[in-house]
């Protein structure tokens, strides 16, 4: 369990760093959250599939479309600005079970 939490925290940290990197380039793909969510729904048919709290009170969200398979990861900063972090195709929802932690397994 500790390894999974550590891996998740590294992943969220990477998302935040990616967002800050986007700002450093001077061309961030950011807008007010309502605008971003409306665009993802209207243009790509994506709805929110997951959410998590990242560093500095930022919120990471995963949006995806079951029809088209497109997906987008966003980070909403404490200021209310939402930035696109990553996007792609062939999204699949998984419900995998955790591996057994018994010593006899």
How would residue 27 be classed by pLDDT, with cut points 50, 70 and 90? low
Q: What are phi and psi of 48, to 5 degrees?
A: -70, 130
Q: Provide the whole-model pTM.
A: 0.68
Residues found in the chain: 105
pLDDT over 60 at 100, yes or no: yes
pLDDT at 3: 53
pLDDT over 80 at 33, yes or no: yes
């Amino acid at each position: 369990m500790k390894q999974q939490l550590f891996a998740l925290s590294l992943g969220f940290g990477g998302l935040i760093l990616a967002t800050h990197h986007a700002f450093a380039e001077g061309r961030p793909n950011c807008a007010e959250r309502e605008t971003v969510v409306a665009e993802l729904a209207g243009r790509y048919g994506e709805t929110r599939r997951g959410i998590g709290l990242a560093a500095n009170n930022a919120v990471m969200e995963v949006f995806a479309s079951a029809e088209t398979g497109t997906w987008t990861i966003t980070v909403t900063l404490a200021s209310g600005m939402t930035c696109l972090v990553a996007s792609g195709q062939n999204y699949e929802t998984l419900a995998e079970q955790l591996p057994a932690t018994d010593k006899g397994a």
